[in-house]
């Protein structure tokens, strides 16, 4: 999933798309139906899952491994771990251990939360030893290290980066992240639109150790782009014509670890890469990534000692595990939201009514229970503007409500009751105009997860009680879920998005006309223009204003293609014998230099 990265978020809030590089309401309301239904469902699901867990836990296969071994579980089977093609946070985590970019994220000395043994990361040189930038800030020249090799012993060259970057933008490859260089690297957007060949991308390898990137415009966050997992180098001779190149027997990688086993739907085994330039300082001899998405099973396997690290477990256990010091709640950039299909829900007033009538306080307090905050816009908490101010603090009530508050000043949108009042009036207006059939039943798709199910039930209860809307809930396994999203076979669909960079464009790009993640098929020329303007500018007031305006347009009359629910947090459990684990607030965890007593 993605961050996309259309980034899957492996967390108790379920898999979410990564925007990374892939993968989570207000005043108290009198009605408690949503809360009760969600709590009852959660309890039932946890009880059922726990029964299954005892069997699954005892059935874990034995994996041969010597030395220091880290056993981690962050998600179930990924759709792919091809760096150019994956779009989920879990795949990004696996890839970060197998492949290394020009720059990389390295663990520092500051714990994210005191006592957590999770340390904040910073961007440092990776495969590139150094780089320089032209005076006009549009040409970046990277000088590769002399001691970088693929896992088969062949040297990593600048052409390997050229190949990878051209491959991801080539529309014939249909990468979900094909857009990631649009408006950044010269000709990327024209290539994506089929107007230029893929080899016209502004990248070049004048020699084996020099990689040159020519930007369309100066980019305020290009160092983060250079560290983006999906832009790792790839070997053309390994990838081309080999549909199974990501299997252990075929894979050639340049990162700190190599994959030695992949038992699908069970585990991935990685071992130190003997050709990695910092081999002597690496931590675990082996990292085993267990592939599981049943939260009760995951917790049971952690408590039995089978897993050293997990970031998913039943929500009704959060308070107890935190109090016992077994779990920590850490900050995480990301937004859990609902796609609203603008083809099947074609009146903005209905989409706005649905958005307004969701009790977000109820969801974070009674359903997710992990310290999440009700969302007041699409751009997540933690994303900052050019002055290092939290993006969402620019608004009064939040981008989600400010536009409607201006258009409908007689309603108090600071309260849930006031929002429900406007929701009912907008909905009834659409019905009376003949623009909406009140007898229509909408389908809400979600990928398998206890939490996703409970959230869907809470939303459906709100829509029924406030608007009289009938909702059919459709629980789907990940592959079916994504196929239906891409085909537009949904009315409502959940998603979690973690940013690729600490920049609002990681979110705003999702709703640009034609973007591969614009599943609800919304289009607004003013919105597109503001996002394009922001991508053409360096950090500063003009750029900030363009991004603020884009966020506002999403939630004004004619908009509401998305209904943000809450901002993510992350909670995890980690074996107290494990230390020195890298972590960043975009959903990534790094075990390369971890220790285990």
Distance of CA 282 to the CA centre of its chain: 27
Burial group, residue 6, by CB count within 10 angstroms (0-12, 13-18, 19+): buried
429-485: pLDDT as tens digits: 999 999 999 999 999 999 988 889 999 999 999 999 999 999 999 999 988 999 999
Q: Give the pLDDT band of residue 531 (cuts 50, 70, 90).
A: very high
- Average pLDDT of the chain is 89
CATH top class, domain 122-239: alpha beta
Query: Measuring CA to CA, which residue among 246, 315, 503 is closest to residue 391?
Result: 503
Question: Which residues touch 514 (CB under 8 Å, ≥6 apart)?
Answer: none
308-332: pLDDT as tens digits: 999 989 888 999 999 999 999 998 9
Rounded CA Rg of the chain:
23
* DSSP β-bridge partners for residue 335: 497, 567
- CA dihedral (181, 186, 189, 195) in degrees, to 10, reads -140
Antiparallel, parallel or unpaired: β 69-75 and 286-291: parallel
- What does the pLDDT read at residue 450? 84
Extract the tokens encoding 363: 């969801």
341-358: pLDDT as tens digits: 999 999 999 999 999 999
Alpha-carbon distances, residue 543 vs 27, 79, 136, 457, 540 (angstroms): 34, 36, 18, 39, 5
* Residue 29 pLDDT > 70: no
Query: Measuring CA to CA, which residue among 469, 468, 462, 440 is closest to residue 357?
Result: 462
286 neighbors 270 (Cβ within 8 angstroms): yes
H/E segment holding residue 547: helix 541-554
Handedness of CA 222, 86, 107, 147 (dihedral sign): negative
Alpha-carbon distances, residue 491 vs 381, 393, 426, 466, 554 (angstroms): 27, 31, 19, 18, 18
Angle between the N-to-C axes of helices 348-356 and 450-467, in degrees from 0 to 180, rounded to the nearest 10: 110
Beta carbons within 10 angstroms of residue 64's beta carbon = 8
> What average pLDDT does the segment 523-540 reach?
93
* Residue 372 pLDDT > 90: yes
Regarding pTM above 0.85, the answer is: no
Instruction: Enumerate the domain spans of the chain.
Output: 122-239
Burial group, residue 141, by CB count within 10 angstroms (0-12, 13-18, 19+): middle
Task: Write phi, then psi, for 245 (nearest 5 degrees).
Answer: -65, -20
């Amino acid at each position: 999933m993605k961050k996309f990265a259309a980034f899957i978020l492996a967390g108790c809030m379920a898999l979410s798309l990564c925007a990374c590089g892939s993968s989570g309401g207000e005043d108290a309301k009198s009605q408690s139906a949503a809360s009760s239904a969600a709590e009852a469902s959660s309890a039932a699901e946890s009880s059922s899952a726990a029964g299954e867990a005892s069997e699954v836990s005892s059935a874990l296969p034995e994996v041969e491994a010597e030395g220091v071994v880290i056993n981690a579980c962050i998600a179930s089977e990924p759709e792919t771990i091809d760096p150019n093609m994956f779009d989920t946070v879990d795949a990004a985590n696996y890839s970060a251990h197998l492949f290394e970019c020009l720059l990389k994220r390295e663990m520092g000395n500051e714990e994210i939360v005191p006592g957590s043994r999770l340390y904040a990361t910073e961007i440092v040189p990776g495969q590139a030893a150094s780089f320089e930038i032209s005076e006009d800030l549009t040409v970046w020249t990277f000088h590769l290290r002399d001691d970088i090799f693929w896992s088969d012993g062949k040297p990593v060259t600048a052409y390997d980066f050229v190949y990878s970057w051209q491959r991801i933008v080539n529309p014939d490859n249909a990468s979900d992240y094909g857009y990631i260089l649009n408006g950044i690297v010269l000709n990327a957007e024209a290539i994506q639109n089929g107007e230029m060949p893929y080899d016209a991308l502004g990248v070049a390898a004048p020699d084996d150790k020099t990689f040159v990137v020519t930007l369309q415009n100066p980019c305020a966050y290009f160092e983060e782009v250079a560290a983006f997992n999906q832009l790792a180098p790839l070997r053309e001779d390994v990838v081309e014509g080999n549909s199974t190149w990501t299997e252990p027997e075929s894979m050639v990688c340049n990162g700190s670890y190599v994959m030695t086993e992949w038992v699908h739907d069970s585990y991935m085994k990685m071992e130190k890469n003997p050709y990695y330039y910092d081999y002597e300082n690496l931590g675990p001899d082996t990292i085993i990534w267990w592939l599981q998405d049943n939260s009760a099973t995951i917790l049971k396997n952690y408590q039995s000692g089978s897993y050293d690290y997990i970031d998913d477990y039943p929500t009704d256990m959060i308070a107890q595990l935190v109090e016992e010091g077994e779990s920590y709640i850490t900050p995480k950039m990301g937004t859990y939201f609902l796609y609203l299909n603008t083809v099947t829900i074609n009146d903005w007033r209905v989409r706005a009514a649905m958005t307004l009538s969701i009790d977000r306080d109820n969801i974070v307090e009674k359903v997710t229970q992990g310290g999440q905050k009700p969302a007041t816009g699409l751009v997540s908490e933690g994303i900052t503007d050019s002055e290092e101010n939290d993006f969402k603090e620019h608004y009064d009530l939040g981008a989600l409500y400010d536009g409607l508050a201006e258009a409908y000043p007689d309603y108090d949108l600071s309260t849930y009751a006031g929002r429900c009042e406007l929701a009912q009036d907008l909905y009834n207006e659409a019905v009376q105009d003949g623009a909406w059939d009140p007898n229509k039943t909408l389908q809400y798709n979600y990928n398998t997860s206890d939490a996703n199910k409970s959230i869907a039930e809470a939303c459906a209860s709100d829509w029924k009680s406030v608007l009289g809307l009938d909702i059919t809930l459709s629980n789907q396994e990940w592959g079916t879920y994504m196929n239906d999203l891409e085909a537009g076979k949904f009315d409502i669909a959940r998603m979690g998005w973690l940013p690729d960079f600490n920049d609002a464009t990681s979110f705003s790009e999702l709703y640009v006309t034609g973007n591969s993640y614009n599943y609800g098929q919304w289009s607004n020329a003013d919105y597109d223009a503001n996002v394009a303007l922001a991508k053409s500018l360096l950090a500063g007031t003009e750029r900030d204003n363009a991004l603020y305006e884009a966020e506002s347009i999403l939630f004004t009359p004619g908009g509401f293609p998305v209904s943000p629910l809450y901002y993510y947090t992350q909670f995890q459990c980690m074996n107290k014998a494990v230390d020195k684990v890298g972590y960043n607030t975009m959903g990534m965890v790094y075990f390369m230099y971890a220790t285990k007593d």
